[in-house]
Amino acid sequence: MRSSPKISKTQQRLALMLALSLTLFACSREDGPFAMSPLLSAHTDASAAMVATCIESRWADATRNVRIAVAKHSIRLSAKTFFAGVRIGARLTEESDHTTVEYFERRLADRRYLAMVRACLHPEMLGRP
């Protein structure tokens, strides 16, 4: 019968510290809002640039750290809500005859941000603040 090798107190402490560090790292990771499923997915006849400008102007006074990232066929807007600091985002993808608009929240945010995105879906509303 084999006896199992003994683990020293130092090795036990190191293993415990490593496990706690990994747990802390996994729980504190800040995934952006785009890691979640969209709360809204809709189509509009307006161009992605026009919708992005509309969303940015509405979020400018209602959020912190508004950021825009432009890729080949899509535009991403992200921000943090005031007070609660919830990460929100919008992804706009321009296709041949329409723009797909998706709205994301990292966790539950005030409904006003979703309403702002919805208002930007209508071409007649794009010029209004």
Domain ranges of the chain: 33-125
Compute the half-sphere exposure of residue 100: CA atoms within 13 Å on the CB side of its CA: 9
Question: In this model, does residue 2 exceed pLDDT 90?
Answer: no
Q: What is the predicted pLDDT for the residue at 92?
A: 97
CATH of domain 33-125: 3.30.310.10
CB 117 within 8 A of CB 101: yes
pLDDT digits (tens, 9 = 90+) for 6-31: 878 888 888 888 887 777 766 555 56
pLDDT tens digits, one per residue of 60-111: 989 999 999 998 889 999 999 988 888 999 999 999 889 999 999 888 888 9
Write out the two tokens for 80. Answer: 């943090």
* Prediction pTM value: 0.72
The confidence score (pLDDT) of residue 6 equals 80
- Please report the pLDDT score of residue 25 as a whole number: 64
